[in-house]
Amino acid sequence: MARYAEILLYLTPFIAVAVWRLLFPSPLPPLWLVRSVAAFAALMLLALIWSWYLDAGDAHRTYVPARLDDGQIVPARQGSPK
């Protein structure tokens, strides 16, 4: 999800300029297009922050990395609180 959001954030200005130049060949973009691009960028930024918050681990727990036990991979996990 975060990768798609990053790609969309990167492409948003290029798409906005393309839409503006194709639909409105005037020198200034219409106000509704500026507002909609700004709102979209703000929503994407909020989605990135929300995604980062969900993926962040608990700072008060120890991290136990993945390990190999008897040929089986034991996945990483959060340990007990410090």
> Residue type for 79, please?
G
Q: Buried (b) or exposed (e) across 30-62, using 16+ Cβ within 10 A?
A: eeeeeeebeeeeeebeebbeeeeeeeeeeeeee
> Residue type for 39, please?
A
Distance, CA of 11 to chain centre: 13
């980062």: which residue's tokens? 52
pLDDT at position 62: 81
**How many residues are there in the chain?**
82
pLDDT at 4 exceeding the cut of 80:
yes
pLDDT in tens, 12-67: 889 888 888 888 887 887 888 889 989 988 998 998 888 888 777 677 778 888 88
R_g of the chain computed on alpha carbons:
22
pLDDT at position 80: 65
